[in-house]
A and B are shown apart, each in its own frame.
Chain A
Amino acid sequence: EAGVAQSPRYKIIEKRQSVAFWCNPISGHATLYWYQQILGQGPKLLIQFQNNGVVDDSQLPKDRFSAERLKGVDSTLKIQPAKLEDSAVYLCASSLGASISGANVLTFGAGSRLTVL
Chain B
Amino acid sequence: TQLLEQSPQFLSIQEGENLTVYCNSSSVFSSLQWYRQEPGEGPVLLVTVVTGGEVKKLKRLTFQFGDARKDSSLHITAAQPGDTGLYLCAGDPAGNKLTFGGGTRVLVKP
Q: Mark A22-44, 1 if CB is under 8 A from B, else 0.
A: 00000000010101000011111
B85 close to chain A: CB less than 8 A: no
Q: Top 7 nearest A-B pairs by Cβ distance?
A: A108-B42, A42-B100, A103-B31, A103-B48, A101-B50, A42-B103, A42-B102
Which of the four size classes fits the interface of chain A? Answer: 20 to 34
Residues of B28-80 contacting chain A, CB below 8 A: 30-31, 33, 40-45, 48, 50
A4 close to chain B: CB less than 8 A: yes
Binding site for A on B (CB under 8 A): 2, 4, 6, 30-31, 33, 40-45, 48, 50, 88, 90, 92, 96-103, 105
CB-defined contacts of B44 to chain A, threshold 8 Å:
108
Report whether A44 and B45 are in contact in the complex, using a CB–CB cutoff of 8 Å.
no
Known: A102-B30, A102-B31, A103-B50. A109 touches B102 (CB 8 A): no
Q: Known pairs A40-B105, A103-B50. 15 more at Cβ < 8 A?
A: A35-B100, A42-B4, A42-B6, A91-B42, A101-B31, A102-B30, A103-B48, A103-B92, A105-B45, A106-B45, A106-B98, A107-B45, A108-B42, A110-B42, A111-B40
CB-defined contacts of A55 to chain B, threshold 8 Å:
96
Compute how far the CA of A105 lies from the CA of B43 in the bound complex, rounded to whole angstroms: 11
CB distance from B42 to the nearest CB of A (A): 3
Q: Which of A56, A99, A109 contacts B97 (CB 8 A)?
A: A56
